[in-house]
Amino acid sequence: MSNRLYEKTDDEITDINVTPLVDVTLVLLVIFMVTASLVFTRALPVNLPKSSASEAAVQTNWIVVVKKNGEYLLNGKRMGLAEMSGRMRNEAIVNPSLKVDLAADEGLAYGKVVGALDLLKKEGVKRVVLSVNPR
């Protein structure tokens, strides 16, 4: 009778099911990827103008920032117009569906914003999103 306690029956589960662990891990990975892009976008050092008709969470490929002092940032890196122009031209050739998020300080002169839009258009960028803060 004591041997019967240690016998293996067909009803016992001896394997560990890792499918729920993989599912939870993948969901967390997606959540972290989405929030990382939102945190980067919100951490840009500019005062964006406010709009009540802004689109929420538009996915972009590149972020161009024009600061109040006229300085340009491409994906968080400071660079001059010539360097940014070359990189945009190359990327627009490789990726024709390139979307650029243009964030300009609200105190910036209108001509600087138009100049940045002209630069993007000249280099072949067809889709530009203007960043604003919701009112």
Query: What domains does the chain contain, in order, with CATH numbers?
Result: 21-134 (3.30.420.270)
pLDDT per residue over 34-89, tens digit each? 887 666 555 556 666 666 655 544 445 788 888 888 888 888 889 888 888 888 88
Dist. CA 102–CA 66, nearest whole Å: 8
| Percent of the chain residues past pLDDT 90, beyond the cut | 7
**Higher-pLDDT residue of 56, 92:** 92
Query: HSE on the CB side for 71, CA within 13 Å?
Result: 11
Asked whether the whole model's pTM tops 0.95, one would answer: no
Is residue 51 within 8 Å of 90, Cβ to Cβ?
Answer: no
